[in-house]
Structure 1
């Protein structure tokens, strides 16, 4: 499946994550093992999505000679994290509706 948005829902299989075009990394986050009707399940999914956004954008990769992240990396992470929160809300609503 080709994903063109930073994060996109992928049916019941999970959430596929692709960073902005300049990074173009795809990360798959599954949540089939979580009960999204509970706060605990939602927190676990939120942590997984945050880690995936960090991985997709290279957020934890340091450049030699600096501890600062590039503006592109920060923008990618912020965009990916915001989109992940929307996708998470869709997943929770989908589970609530029994889908």
Structure 2
């Protein structure tokens, strides 16, 4: 099965700004991005992979979680999302290059 599992240490990305050490720093979340069903030699396949990457980063960072009293995302969630998305993009960079070269 072709899939990448991203594990993100929340403490290392979003919560590193917190002044106090807490149990949340040990919190690790993961999300799986599968691509075996995609034809990465097509623009549609690449676009779907990009959508899956964004969705995985949102899931790991709980970007869509509602906080009582606000609809705005926390700075920590936004920073976590950017970190997770960058990690996923790096993991998939070689796979995308290979697909563009026909391999």
Report the TM range for the smaller structure's normalisation: 0.7 to 0.9
Counterpart Cα distance in 1 of 2:36 and 2:76: 32
Greater gyration radius: 2
> RMSD value over aligned CA atoms?
1.8
Asked if residue 85 in structure 1 is aligned to residue 89 in structure 2, the reply is: yes
> Which of the residues 18, 23, 38 maps onto 2:7?
18
2:74 alignment counterpart = 70
Q: What TM-score comes out, normalization by structure 1 length?
A: 0.76
Q: Which runs of 5+ in 1 are unaligned?
A: 1-11
List, as ranges, runs of 4+ consecutive aligned residues in structure 1 with deviation greater than 4 Å: none
Q: What TM-score comes out, normalization by structure 2 length?
A: 0.73
Highest RCO, 1 vs 2 (Cα 8 Å, sep ≥ 6): 2
The structure where helix makes up a greater share of residues is 2
1:54 alignment counterpart = 58
Q: Which runs of 5+ in 2 are unaligned?
A: 12-26
Alignment coverage as a number of residue pairs:
87
Counterpart Cα distance in 1 of 2:49 and 2:5: 13
